[in-house]
Amino acid sequence: MSVIPDDRLADLTREELSRYSRHLLLPEVGLEGQKRLKASRVLIVGTGGLGAPLALYLAAAGVGTLGLVDYDLVESSNLQRQIIFGTRDLDRPKTAAAADRLRSLNPDIRIETHNLRLTSRNALQVLEGYDVVADGTDNYPTRYLVGDACVLLGKPNVYASIFQFEGQATVFDAGRGPCYRCLYPSPPPPGLVPSCGEGGVMGVLPGILGAIQAAEVIKLVVGGGRPLVGRMLLLDAWLMRSVEVRLDKNPDCPVCGKSPTLTGLVDYEQFCGLRDDREEEIPSVTAGELKRRLDGGERVQVIDIREPHERSLFKFSGAVPVPFGQLVRRKDEFDPGTDLVFICKIGQRSLYAIRALREAGYPGPMFNLKDGVNAWAREVDPELAVY
């Protein structure tokens, strides 16, 4: 059954009949299915690696209104996989650059941009006006936010996520199957799962998963096929193999179960352990301050918690390499009488590292390199690459 009611359907113009002729030739889509696509309103949360191909294919398919949610600017590192952008879009808001590209692809559709950070305060208002929500985000707080908001609003959530060479895709629809919280009742500990910006990603992988999301959106709108409700597709692009797993609804789910206890949106940064008063107690040093201390011969030891393949891209002279996962068991190797400065790519994992060592009882002074080794490359040694 389609998510688009019959009373919203409108005729196609002569130009649209020509543009979408390959859809019209498919009996599973046909004229009525294309009318439903024209009448549909689809929101894409995130215009990055997943959102880029997703938006392009939905615009090409004739989805009548596409909403785009993002608040980032286009960076050079995006261009390896976010194919909706070009070099000339660098430093532009992603929503604006994506809207221009989509209008050039299909000037007959309507693009609604939401150049904002989706939060508990605005999510219900933003999502409410759309028929289908597609989650192209890359962080746990927003995934839980989108998942909960879709359940509360009764919207299907077309979901995908990627990491390095692996991806997964499903459709969360609490009316017919499980929701996001049924699968992931609680988030992983902060720092355990690095983002694509820290762990890397094969450039074509989000293209594959984004195209799968687009296919799922089209099926929901047209009302045919077998959507991935209650099923998850797992793909390993490096080995090029896929498996399908069954997803069951959790009757005790706090948001979509028989007796839900979560009836509104919460603070998702806090829920995912990313907002904690203890972070304010962790002192930091800037790249310039660290250089002055090192040049001055102070008792400072730099601890590089990046993985070996990361260190090969950017070697920090004099740093002791101790990968994040080894820190606690190797804490006795550190001198409590020396100031330790922890470094990673952007200064996020090093915060978690210091917290983990504190909880393990390490007594010495510890500092975080603010904004990580990328700040060192920008502010201290411009010959090094920001990666």
Is 182 one of the annotated active-site residues of the chain?
no
Q: How far apart are CA 345 and CA 323, in angstroms?
A: 12
Q: Which residues contact 295 (CB under 8 A, 6 or more apart)?
A: none
How, if at all, do strands 320-321 and 339-343 pair? unpaired
Tokens of 201: 């990603």
Active site residue: 179, 256, 272, 344, which one?
344
Question: Which residue in the block uniquely carries the two structure tokens 């008063």?
Answer: 277
Question: Which residue in the block uniquely carries the two structure tokens 């294919």?
Answer: 57
Q: Which residues contact 24 (CB under 8 A, 6 or more apart)?
A: 17, 30, 31, 34
Single-letter code of the amino acid located at 385: A
Tokens of 34: 């294309």
Angle at 300 between CA 296 and CA 303, to 5 degrees: 135
Output the CA–CA distances (angstroms, integers) from residue 75 to 80, 92, 346, in the order listed: 10, 9, 15
Is 196 one of the annotated active-site residues of the chain?
yes
Active site residue: 196, 253, 256, 272, which one?
196
Point out the residues that are catalytic.
Answer: 196, 344
